[in-house]
Amino acid sequence: MIKVTSLSSLHVNAEKADAIDALQAMIKTFDMNQTPPNNAAPLYEAIAEILEVEDLYAQFKKESSQKAQAFIPLCQSHLEKAEDIFLVATKTAVAGNVIDLAAVMLYDLEEELEKIYHTPFAIDDVSFLRQKLETTTTLVYLADNAGEEIFDKLYIQTIKKLYPHIVVYYFVRGRPIINDLTCKDALASKMDEVATIVDSGVPTPGLALELMNEHARSIFQKAECIIAKGMGNYECLGETQGLPIFFLFKVKCNVVANAVGAKLGDIVCRASHP
């Protein structure tokens, strides 16, 4: 006689097998002219549909944000004693970028965060970003992974303190995709205390311009400065010309390292092409 628990286990295994079969079939149809985020979106949507789960990583995202909260005192300590508070705040934002389920890396989070404060930018356009913010009234900030918003919030607070004329719009994903931040996640971390949260409508793990909804597009187009967090946003927008974008991320894969001319583990503040 088969126990109920065994039947349940068989059902879960069957679902996993269906998901794996679907993924293998989809991977074979990938368009190599598309960005990785564009190819990833339908892949994760298929898994969610097969497993009948709206947000595959809901619990992981919640735990990431909760764990990130524990590092606020460490970051605030660096900000309080900083000789150049804007530089340290920019590093604080990049420090949050070590939280990434999509990058297969094992690390001690506290050690990694501390290390970034003592690491120079391998690509350093911080001065250019500082200069750009002086004349910016509308800043669009493209979110990345859940947990990072805790560090983004500290960065935005510093930006608004230094540049009180700036209005900040915090763009999040249109629906759950991997561990990327959604409106629900951002509200849970009270990001609305420092910025206007904007549902971009984009379902990819990186901002695909053609998928933005009209409301997000209208704000995006009037922004004098755009800060894009994470490699996913770089993969979608890195070759885009004519937009005032500054990419902030830690290099976590060799493909992106080669693309930007940096090494694995480097931190980057890179202005977009003119």
Residues 20 and 130 grouped into a single domain? no
| Look-up of token digits 């949050």 | 96
Whether residue 70 lies inside any domain: the answer is yes
- Mark whether 132 and 216 lie in a shared domain: yes
- Nearest 5°: the CA angle 99, 105, 106 is 90
For residue 43, give its domain range. Answer: 4-25+36-51
Per-residue pLDDT tens for 142-161? 999 999 999 999 999 999 99
Domain contains 30 = no
The pLDDT of residue 84 is above 90: yes
Instruction: Output the CA angle 30-213-256, nearest 5 degrees.
Output: 40
Contact 248, 162 (CB under 8 A): no
186-195: pLDDT as tens digits: 999 999 999 9
Q: Do 202 and 119 lie in a common domain?
A: yes
Give the whole-number percent of the chain exceeding pLDDT 90. 65
Query: Is 31 part of a structural domain of the chain?
Result: no
**100 burial type by CB count under 10 A (0-12 exposed, 13-18 middle, 19+ buried):** buried
pLDDT at 44 exceeding the cut of 80: no
| Structural domain count of the chain | 2
Quickly state the pLDDT bin for 26 (edges 50, 70, 90).
low
Q: Are residues 71 and 200 in the same domain?
A: yes
Query: What integer pLDDT is reported at residue 23 of this predicted model?
Result: 66
- Let me know: does 103 contact 130? Beta carbons within 8 Å: no
Across the chain, mean pLDDT equals 86
Q: What is the CA radius of gyration of the chain?
A: 19
Structural domain includes residue 236? yes
Q: Provide the sign of the torsion angle of the four alpha carbons 5, 8, 10, 13, taken in this order.
A: negative
The dihedrals phi and psi of 264, each to the nearest 5 degrees, come to -55, 130
Q: What is the pLDDT of residue 15?
A: 61
- The residue whose two tokens read 């619990």 is 59
* Assigned domain for 251 exists: yes
| Integer angstrom CA distances of residue 68 from 42, 74, 188, 216 | 29, 11, 13, 27
- Tell whether 175 is covered by a domain: yes
Question: Percent of the chain having pLDDT more than 70?
Answer: 78
Question: Quick check: 120 and 264 in contact, CB under 8 A?
Answer: no
